[in-house]
Amino acid sequence: MSDGEGDLGLLDDLIGRARRAGSDAADAMLARSAALDASWRMGRNEGV
């Protein structure tokens, strides 16, 4: 199972739980992100 399939399964499970708990509608969203930054101060690298 790829990560995408696992993500869809997780979202499907969450929606199913909400419906079984009595909801007549439910929304679920999953977001992933990655970031990299570098900072310089007074001409010197402070970190990456």
Mean pLDDT over 17-45 rounds to 90
Determine the distance from the C-alpha atom of residue 24 to the mean position of all C-alpha atoms in its chain, rounded to a whole number.
24
Report the C-alpha gap between 12 and 16 in whole angstroms.
6
Residue 1 pLDDT > 50: no
- Tell me the C-alpha distance between 12 and 28, whole Å: 8
Number of domains observed in the structure of the chain: 1
The alpha carbon of residue 43 and the mean position of all alpha carbons in its chain are separated, in whole angstroms, by 36
**Residues with Cβ < 8 Å from 25, sequence gap 6 or more?**
none
Domain carrying residue 34:
3-47
- pTM for the model stands at 0.55
43 or 18, which is more confident: 18
